[in-house]
């Protein structure tokens, strides 16, 4: 059974939001262990940057694998 486009979109959006939340919580918990002390605003901004980079990486890898599949 194939996934509908709407469900694919819902999955992608959920993945981005969950990834962002995981990144921010991880930073809040892990940074102090390494002596890095940041504000919540800084953690939110860094989480956003990591999320954008993750989306770009994921998109690029999908395109590479699609190009491989087509060959």
Note the pTM of the prediction, 2 decimals: 0.77
Q: Residue 53: its pLDDT value, please?
A: 92
Q: How many domains does the chain divide into?
A: 1
Q: Which domain holds residue 25?
A: 5-70
Both structure tokens of 63: 């395109």
Apex 32 CA angle, 31 and 34, nearest 5: 70
CA distance 50 to 19: 9
The tens digit of pLDDT for each residue in 9-68 reads 899 899 999 999 999 999 999 999 999 999 999 999 999 999 999 889 988 998 999 889
Phi first, then psi, for residue 62 (nearest 5°) are -60, -40
CB 19 within 8 A of CB 51: yes
* Rounded distance between C-alpha atoms, residue 27 and residue 33, angstroms: 10
């Amino acid at each position: 059974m194939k996934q509908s486009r709407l469900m694919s979109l819902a999955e992608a959006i959920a993945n981005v939001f969950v990834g962002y939340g995981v990144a921010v919580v991880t930073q809040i918990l892990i940074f102090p262990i390494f002596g890095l002390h940041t504000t919540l605003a800084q953690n939110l901004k860094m989480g956003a940057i990591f999320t954008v980079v993750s989306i770009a990486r994921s998109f690029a890898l999908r395109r590479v694998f699609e190009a491989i599949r087509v060959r």
